[in-house]
Structure 1
């Protein structure tokens, strides 16, 4: 009887110890996440910075539909600059379409290639021709230099965020910039960390 009671007590002690260890691990993971959060879109140096008004320009989709960039609009506009020969662009295209649909964004794919290459692109990526603009002028206006590159334009016509992207997390970081008011996820985390240190002091 004494042995059974001792075994039960030892079992409860082990359960309590595991619970304490799990709580400590969870706390450590939360602290680690604050310090090393998922990277956001990599900011590029050229063109107007986030917060500036986006250049106003009207282009044409492959089906001839006029596409207006910049200026006030009903919904935010997500521009994704892709290339037919870029494997990351190929991977990101369906992700961007799903992301834009879920977040109610107007998505426009932007390219800079021959007409034949762009036709191959929309066919292989499965894109509507009315969602693809083959013109490099707007990319030069906002400072695109590498692919794939994304820019999020707000409803008032300002550049919310922009940068090189290669995953859904990078696309989400552009929207995080809109929700938090910070140009990048990293600047948001830095400000939050600074505020935490000031509060602790």
Structure 2
């Protein structure tokens, strides 16, 4: 009887310790989840990285006649009925391709208020045609113009530029995520040079 009683006592104690351990573990998980939430709120979103060289935000983008892949010509800049997003890419840039669905999705979400122009350079037009066909880009203007990239200060890819209806440069920078792309539109809507500038003003 004594042996059985000791076994029961040991079982009760072990169960009690197990429950205590479980409660402590749950409390630890809850505390960790709370800290993660606080950290998420404190970490500021990162906008597109704007290079120092090139045109300044707020400058007028003088109209530039550029050739399209289709053989037509397109006037980039100047007064339009919509904002213009220029996405600079290259058929040999893996990140450019991986971000394409995000670019197209964002343009669809923005509706008719935003026009997308795909921009690249290079002499082999067949490569660009194959790239446009492969990625279903035929419905969007696809221009081949080195002068356009130079004017916008493109130094790395993928790169994006946002011009408002009045032909004013509102945002530009290196992009590699949806957050970077959305930061261009947000910078325009908030009337700041970049999302980083806005966040700096808010924290200051």
> What TM-score does the superposition give when structure 1 sets the normalisation length?
0.78
Structure 1 stretches lacking a partner, 5+ long: 1-13, 195-201
Alignment of 1:39-78 (within 5 A): 39-78=46-85
- Equivalent in the alignment of 2:44: 37
Is 1:131 matched up with 2:141?
Answer: yes
Which has the higher mean CA deviation after the structures are superposed, 141-150 or 54-63? 54-63
Deviations for 1:90-135, whole angstroms, at most 9, x for unmatched residues? 1111211111111131001001122122112212222116521011
Q: Equivalents in 2 of 1:35, 1:58: separation in Å?
A: 45
- Decide which of 163, 178, 188 is 1:168's aligned counterpart: 178
The number of aligned residues is 173
Listed as ranges, the matches of 1:102-121 within 5 Å are 102-104=109-111, 105-113=114-122, 114-121=124-131
- Structure 1, 42-51 or 142-151: larger mean CA deviation: 42-51
- Distance in 2 separating the partners of 1:94 and 1:173: 17
SS of 1:172 mapped into structure 2: helix
CA RMSD of aligned residues (A): 2.1
* Secondary structure of residue in 2 paired with 1:101: helix
Say if 2:65 and 2:74, in contact at 8 Å, map to a contact too: yes
Q: Using the alignment, how far apart are the partners of 1:96 and 1:103 within structure 2?
A: 11
Q: Say if 1:172 and 1:89 are closer, same or farther in 2 by CA, change over 3 A.
A: same
Q: Which runs of 5+ in 2 are unaligned?
A: 1-22
Tell me, in whole angstroms, the C-alpha distance in 2 between the residues paired with 1:29 and 1:56: 47
Contact kept, 8 Å, 1:55 with 1:141, in 2: the verdict is: no
Q: Distance in 2 between the 1:129 and 1:136 partners? A: 22
